[in-house]
Amino acid sequence: MSMITLKHLERFYPLAKGKFFYVLRDINLEVNEGDFVSIMGPSGAGKSSLLHVIGMHDHAWSGEYYFDDDPIHSLKPKERSTLRNEKIGFVFQNYHLLDDLTVYENLDIPLSYRHVNKAGRDSIVCDALDRFHIVGKKDLYPRQLSGGQQQLVSIARAMIANPKLILADEPTGNLHSDQGKEIMEMFKTLNAGGTTIIQVTHSDVNAAYGNRIIQLRDGFVV
Amino acid sequence: MNTLLQDIRFGFRMLLKHKAFTAIAVIALGLGIGANTAIFSLVNGVLLRPLSFPDAERIIYFEGRNPSSGITDSNISFLDFTDWSQQTDLFKATAAFWTGNANLGADGAEPERVPRAGVTSGFFPVLGVQPVLGRTFVPEDDKPETTSVAIISHGLWKRRFGSDPAIVGKQAQISSRPITVIGVMPSGFEFPEQTQVWVPSAVNLSDEPRDNRAWSAIARLNPDVDLMQAQTRISAINAQLAKQFHETNKGWDVFLSTLHERVVREVKPSLLALLGAVGFVLLIACANVANLLLARSAARQKEIAIRAAMGASQGRVLRQMLTESILLSAIGGIAGLLLSVWLTDVLMSIVPEGAPRLDQVGIDYRVLTFALGVSALTGILFGLVPALHASKLDVTSALKEGGRSAEGHRRTSARSLLLIGEVALSLMLLVGAGLLIKSFVRLQEVRPGFNAHNVLIANVALPGAKYKDQQFVEFFRQLKDRLEAAPGVQAVGGAINLPLGASGYGIGRGFVPEGRPLTRDELFDASCSPITGDYFRALQIPLLGGRFFQLRDNAEAPKIVIINESMAKRHFGSPSEAIGKRLTIWRDENFMREIVGVVGDTKTGSLTGESGAQVYVPHAQDSQWNFMGMVIRTAGDPAAFATTLRREVQALDKDQPIYNVRTMDDVVMNSIGTRRVSMQLFTVFACAALLLAALGIYGVMACSVTQRTQEIGLRMALGAQKSDVLGLVIRQGMALTVIGVIVGLAGAFALTRVIGNLLYGVTATDPATFVAIPLVLLFVALLACYLPARRAARLDPTRALAQS
């Protein structure tokens, strides 16, 4: 069943004298529930831009976008934010943990933004710490963790609200190969559990973990 | 609530993480909030706290005015007062009173001069005050023969009578007359003017002239009457009285105000101007902290973007940023409140003597609420712009690897606007301070007409029960002789009207030059003072023609006067032409006096006032006056001669006190006290504002240089010289400063009128000040721009270009 459908989606930036710079052009694609999709292509192809559009961070695009049959293109930014909070989790290349919060607090904060009460948050965070085997790290700050550990926490944070879809932007880009393998194995496990995953990657090794590859070049799907 | 606690916890963590920033911000805010709270505690005590009488806002004061004669702030006529008092539908109670002094002595203790008031029986009912012992006056006490009873203050009862519980009914010697004490007032009650003894007014209505405007009057309005209604009715009555008593009441009316308003009228404009000025300083401090936060927000872009990506709504981000700001301002507020306690003490030590209601100044709930409110408002003010910035972040751009953010431009615009605001506010304060300084310098150049240095003054008031007429004259003559014999004394004299109102008394009379009809229309007003001894020599008032008074000018000698230069020129053409002319002091005397001398003008009321016509008569030829403001010129420090004066007075009469002992230098300083304090405080605030603005300019330019490092490196790689880079940075900073100066000048033109009444010899739009101050500010701004510009010019292009 199709989770994500994009039709004639375009993203551009206005330049001087009425000209435009296209980042994404006439994107048409579908992603089914349970897919593990890898978006690949050279630098500047529009991979991260596509990910941010799908993730509803970016609102300056045109075309049609359906998520679970909801017409995202018709929703207001605030409605998109609500939907995103319910259904999507993000993993970034630079982990993007909050440096001044402990591991526990980094996991707690997305739940706080979703108005989960304290008792509920405590329970969910404890489960996540256990599931990802990072209970012993809960009071540490990100600067006290290795890259791999930080990315693990980042994935745990992305999963904390039980999203249907995980978007990962070069999740192993700043890790060495052993750590990267560990992370990809984690993604595979999550996908096996029913979570749809879309990753941006330059690595064929990482792409091999998925069941589908989308190639982007100069803003087009090729 | 739980998420708010999260934000507070995180806010504390961030403040602790950035200790230097937190310290700078807390110091800036603490100084701003502390100064505002200190000034507000002054405003609160003097202007806002009601008078300590029940329903004090219902008590009104009658101020005499005659607009056609240019007279304001005059006392009122007792007979007019009796007419107003008949309006019982307006007033629940009315009272008239006069103020003076009384000698306490003859009881073995040190003789003492205390303030005294003669009041009608309605006085205490108007104020709503009950005695703690005995009774107050009743209508029977208003009869002219009732002069042997008195009510005393709590302080006097304690100090002079040992808190005797049986004081009521006992006798005391007041001004050498036996007086029966009938009541003791509660602690703290000393209205009016620190009065210690209240006596009945004892007015003989049949003898009281209608134009004897020597009284003050108050009343308590009925509950359903407002001030406007009372004013309308009383003015109508006065119009009627003017028709009925044309000669005495023509043009006279009264202005009604609340008693509170009357008490604080003189100081209200200064206090409000100071509150405005210190508010400006706080706004500038807020702009500085806001700029610091904006600079920090550049480093926090990633954090905000992550939070947004994790699901934080714009409102939630805004709340978090504002929580941090309010936390910062709360810490600044606590520091400010502590600082304000000390600052208030400092303010109280420099406030001029005689300023009203200083006993009411302190930290109360209003001041605490003000501090709390200012802290919260400050936090919102300086936090709002950075918080709004942060909440509207473009998440995608901020999260992208190596992405350049468009936020930099918006942030730069906000910082520029804040800087322009800071410069504008600083300029307004600096112009205000500049005007006040120039005005004060002009004031100090005013020649008072006498030499105030090395002069001791003190009041001596002889009791009428003990001395009469020529006995007054003889006492002061003997006192002069005894003082002149003391080592270090150069000259001794006395007058009732001392310059600058130093004696606290002033006699004004009318005179008519010889040959003119003795009618009211021919009457000229003059300050008219009996003098004794070598008064003019003691104050070094120059003789411009004729001669001084001499010993031979006694009661049997031909009647004479000395007049001042202004009066001689106005009425007789010149000092030399005035000598030998004659005038009569009408209607007190029915004979001519010859002008035997002309002396220089002296300032009677204030340094800024006109001298007016001044007439001096020998005390021996106008001997009814029991009081003299003694003037002693000394070789050394005049304050050291107070003991000598007291000793010589008490050698003549052991029960005779002296009071109001001061040096003439102190009198001159005090006469410009309010202006001096306003000038000093404004200058302090303006300097603080200039420093904050300079720091703000430096901060903005330093941040700009950091942000433009790559650009500058590129320019240098393309051929820009050090001087080109210097010019680039300085031009950016000075452009903002110039805009701020233009906005500030416009604001200054509008706002300096507020301090117009504090200025002397300078207009509120003085061109020299409006040119000089911007130049000073521009110079300081140039210095503030130079340091970051120099840093930019020293950048290594290679390293700058490598920086991402």
Please state the ipTM of this predicted complex: 0.77
What single letter denotes the amino acid at residue B276? Answer: G
- DSSP SS3 for B512: strand
Rounded Cα distance between B312 and A57, Å, is: 12
Q: B127 and B188 in contact (C-beta within 8 Å)?
A: no
Q: Name the phi and psi angles at B575, rounded to 5.
A: -60, -45
Residue that is written with structure tokens 């941040």 in the block: B703
DSSP B257-294: EEHHHHHHTTTHHHHHHHHHHHHHHHHHHHHHHHHHHH
pLDDT at B403: 44
Q: In B351-494, where does DSSP find H-type helix? A: 365-391, 395-399, 407-445, 470-484
Residue that is written with structure tokens 């970016």 in the block: A58
Is the pLDDT reported for residue B521 higher than 70? no
pLDDT at B402: 46
Length of chain A: 222
Interval B95-129: pLDDT, tens: 999 998 888 865 666 778 889 999 999 999 999 99
Q: Which residue of B has its CA nearest to A78?
A: B313
Determine the angle formed by the axes of helices B407-445 and B365-391, rounding to 10 degrees.
140
Whether B521 and chain A come into contact, CB under 8 Å, resolves to: no
And the tokens for B293?
């936060």
Q: A2 and A68 in contact (C-beta within 8 Å)?
A: no
Of A93, A113, A170, the CB nearest to B310: A113
Whether B302 and chain A come into contact, CB under 8 Å, resolves to: yes
Is the pLDDT reported for residue B497 higher than 70? yes
Residue A143 distance to chain B (closest CA, Å) = 14
pLDDT at B665: 93
CB atoms within 10 A of CB B76: 21
Rounded Cα distance between B388 and B325, Å, is: 12
Whether B16 and chain A come into contact, CB under 8 Å, resolves to: no
Q: B80 and B243 in contact (C-beta within 8 Å)?
A: no
Interval A142-156: pLDDT, tens: 999 988 889 889 989
User: Residue B405: which pLDDT band, with cuts at 50, 70 and 90?
Assistant: very low
Whether B312 and chain A come into contact, CB under 8 Å, resolves to: yes
B104 beta partners: B112, B174
Whether B14 and chain A come into contact, CB under 8 Å, resolves to: yes
Sheet-wide strand order for A61-67: A20-32, A2-14, A61-67, A70-71
- Subunit contact B2:A118, Cβ cutoff 8 A: yes
Rounded Cα distance between B548 and B560, Å, is: 11
Whether B313 and chain A come into contact, CB under 8 Å, resolves to: yes
Interval B373-391: pLDDT, tens: 998 888 888 888 788 877 7
Share of chain A residues as helix, strand and coil, in percent rounded to the nearest 5:
40, 30, 30
Name chain A contacts of B399, Cβ cutoff 8 Å: 52, 57, 92, 96
Q: Give the strand pairing for B59-66 and B253-258.
A: antiparallel
Burial B717-753 (b: 16+ CB within 10 A, else e): eeebeeeebbebbbebbbebbbbbbebbbebbeebbe
Is the pLDDT reported for residue B19 higher than 80? yes
CA dihedral B229→B234→B239→B243, nearest 10 degrees, is 140
And the tokens for A192?
């096996």
Of A48, A110, A118, the CB nearest to B400: A48
Name chain B contacts of A57, Cβ cutoff 8 Å: 308-309, 395-396, 399
Whether B9 and chain A come into contact, CB under 8 Å, resolves to: no
Name chain B contacts of A52, Cβ cutoff 8 Å: 396, 399-400
Cα distances (angstroms) measured from residue A163 to each of B307, B376, B466: 17, 40, 105
Determine the angle formed by the axes of helices B314-350 and B2-17, rounding to 10 degrees.
60
- Subunit contact A97:B6, Cβ cutoff 8 A: no
Interval B643-697: pLDDT, tens: 999 999 999 998 888 988 999 999 998 888 878 888 888 888 888 888 888 888 8
Mutate to test the interface with A, among B6, B303, B317, B396 (most CBs of A within 10 A): B396
- Subunit contact A110:B306, Cβ cutoff 8 A: no
Q: Which residue of A has its CA nearest to B317?
A: A113
Name chain B contacts of A109, Cβ cutoff 8 Å: 307, 310
Whether A157 and chain B come into contact, CB under 8 Å, resolves to: yes
Is the pLDDT reported for residue B582 higher than 90? yes
In sequence order, what are the residues at sequence separation of 6 or more whose Cβ sits closer than 8 angstroms to the Cβ of residue B718? none
Residue that is written with structure tokens 């911007």 in the block: B774
CB atoms within 10 A of CB B39: 24
pLDDT at B697: 85
User: Residue B92: which pLDDT band, with cuts at 50, 70 and 90?
Assistant: very high
Mutate to test the interface with B, among A13, A84, A91, A100 (most CBs of B within 10 A): A100
Cα distances (angstroms) measured from residue B486 to each of B9, B145, B489, B633: 76, 44, 6, 12
Rounded Cα distance between B777 and B194, Å, is: 47
- DSSP SS3 for B637: coil
Whether B400 and chain A come into contact, CB under 8 Å, resolves to: yes
B242 beta partners: none
Angle at A17 between CA A14 and CA A21, to 5 degrees: 30
Is the pLDDT reported for residue B178 higher than 50? yes
Rounded Cα distance between B285 and B332, Å, is: 11
In sequence order, what are the residues at sequence separation of 6 or more whose Cβ sits closer than 8 angstroms to the Cβ of residue B266? B356, B674
Of B17, B316, B396, the CB nearest to A113: B316
Q: How many interface pairs between A and B have CB atoms less than 8 angstroms apart?
A: 57
Residue A183 distance to chain B (closest CA, Å) = 20
Indicate if the alpha-carbon torsion angle B341, B347, B351, B355 is positive or negative. negative
- Subunit contact B303:A118, Cβ cutoff 8 A: no
User: H-helix or E-strand containing B644?
Assistant: helix B642-652
Is the pLDDT reported for residue B595 higher than 90? yes
Mutate to test the interface with B, among A23, A57, A114 (most CBs of B within 10 A): A57
Interval B413-429: pLDDT, tens: 888 888 898 899 999 98
DSSP single-letter state for residue A41 = -
Q: Which residue of B has its CA nearest to A92?
A: B399
In sequence order, what are the residues at sequence separation of 6 or more whose Cβ sits closer than 8 angstroms to the Cβ of residue B555? B470, B473, B620, B621, B623
Of A81, A97, A161, the CB nearest to B313: A81
Measuring CA to CA, which residue among B49, B198, B229, B75 is closest to residue B126? B198
Indicate if the alpha-carbon torsion angle B404, B410, B413, B417 is positive or negative. negative
In sequence order, what are the residues at sequence separation of 6 or more whose Cβ sits closer than 8 angstroms to the Cβ of residue B211? B77, B247, B248, B249
Name chain A contacts of B6, Cβ cutoff 8 Å: 112
- Subunit contact B10:A100, Cβ cutoff 8 A: yes
Taking residues B304-319, report their average pLDDT: 86
And the tokens for B332?
């600044």
Is the pLDDT reported for residue B804 higher than 70? no
Q: Select the highest-mean-pLDDT range: A49-63, B338-352, B483-497.
A: B483-497
Name chain B contacts of A97, Cβ cutoff 8 Å: 306
- Subunit contact B17:A100, Cβ cutoff 8 A: yes
Rounded Cα distance between B681 and B692, Å, is: 16
Mutate to test the interface with A, among B1, B13, B306, B313 (most CBs of A within 10 A): B306
Of B307, B313, B396, the CB nearest to A58: B396
Residue that is written with structure tokens 């006392």 in the block: B75
Mean pLDDT of chain A: 89
Name chain B contacts of A117, Cβ cutoff 8 Å: 2
pLDDT at B587: 66
Residue B308 distance to chain A (closest CA, Å) = 9
pLDDT at B300: 80
And the tokens for B669?
């300083």
C-alpha R_g of chain A:
18
Burial zone of B140 (CB within 10 Å; 0-12 exposed, 13-18 middle, 19+ buried): exposed
pLDDT at B803: 61
pLDDT at B106: 56
Residue A81 distance to chain B (closest CA, Å) = 7
User: Residue B509: which pLDDT band, with cuts at 50, 70 and 90?
Assistant: confident
Whether B406 and chain A come into contact, CB under 8 Å, resolves to: no
In sequence order, what are the residues at sequence separation of 6 or more whose Cβ sits closer than 8 angstroms to the Cβ of residue B513? B524, B571, B572, B581, B582, B583
Taking residues A37-52, report their average pLDDT: 90
Taking residues B76-93, report their average pLDDT: 93
Residue that is written with structure tokens 């700009």 in the block: B704
User: Residue B408: which pLDDT band, with cuts at 50, 70 and 90?
Assistant: low
Residue B11 distance to chain A (closest CA, Å) = 10
Residue A96 distance to chain B (closest CA, Å) = 6
Interval B254-306: pLDDT, tens: 999 999 999 888 888 888 888 988 898 888 888 888 888 887 777 788 888 88
Q: Name the phi and psi angles at B395, rounded to 5.
A: -60, -45
pLDDT at B520: 67
pLDDT at B65: 92
Q: Select the highest-mean-pLDDT range: B150-159, B362-371, B441-450.
A: B150-159
Residue B320 distance to chain A (closest CA, Å) = 12
Whether A90 and chain B come into contact, CB under 8 Å, resolves to: yes
Q: Where are the beta strands (DSSP E) in chain A?
A: 2-14, 20-32, 36-40, 61-67, 70-71, 88-91, 165-169, 196-200, 212-217, 220-221
Q: Name the B residues in 258-297 with CB < 8 Å from any A CB.
A: none
DSSP A72-91: GGGS-HHHHHHHHHHHEEEE
Name chain A contacts of B311, Cβ cutoff 8 Å: 81, 84-85, 110, 113-114, 161
Of B6, B306, B401, the CB nearest to A112: B6
Name chain A contacts of B14, Cβ cutoff 8 Å: 100
Taking residues B613-635, report their average pLDDT: 93
Rounded Cα distance between B235 and B248, Å, is: 16
Rounded Cα distance between B798 and B562, Å, is: 89
Burial zone of B551 (CB within 10 Å; 0-12 exposed, 13-18 middle, 19+ buried): exposed
Whether B204 and chain A come into contact, CB under 8 Å, resolves to: no
User: Residue B472: which pLDDT band, with cuts at 50, 70 and 90?
Assistant: very high
pLDDT at B400: 64
Rounded Cα distance between B230 and B244, Å, is: 21
Is the pLDDT reported for residue B83 higher than 60? yes
Measuring CA to CA, which residue among B395, B462, B790 is closest to residue A58? B395
Whether B392 and chain A come into contact, CB under 8 Å, resolves to: no
And the tokens for A159?
């999963």
